[in-house]
Amino acid sequence: MSSIGIKQELHKLIDSGDDKFVKMFYEMAKAYTEQLQKEKMVSEGEKDIKSGRTFGLKEAKKLADNWEG
């Protein structure tokens, strides 16, 4: 089945699903996208390390102290 066909089928399942199904599907999709984001961040961090874009302890502390949050 093509990606478009799968999306159409998912829309039908969501539209006909009860509250429990919709909430479970939402949590699953949310967890999946959060995991993808974490994997992307790790990959970017590994590239930074390999390229030598790192900070020493003093530099990291200084950056952390200046963060606004």
Structural domain containing residue 33? 24-69
Number of domains in the chain: 1
Q: Do residues 17 and 25 make contact, with C-beta atoms less than 8 angstroms apart?
A: yes
- Reported as a single tens digit per residue, the pLDDT across 44-58 is 999 999 999 999 999
Evaluate the CA torsion angle 57, 58, 59, 63 in order and state its sign: positive
pLDDT of residue 38: 98
* Domain assignment present for 59: yes
* Domain assignment present for 12: no
pLDDT of residue 69: 61
Mean pLDDT score of the chain: 95
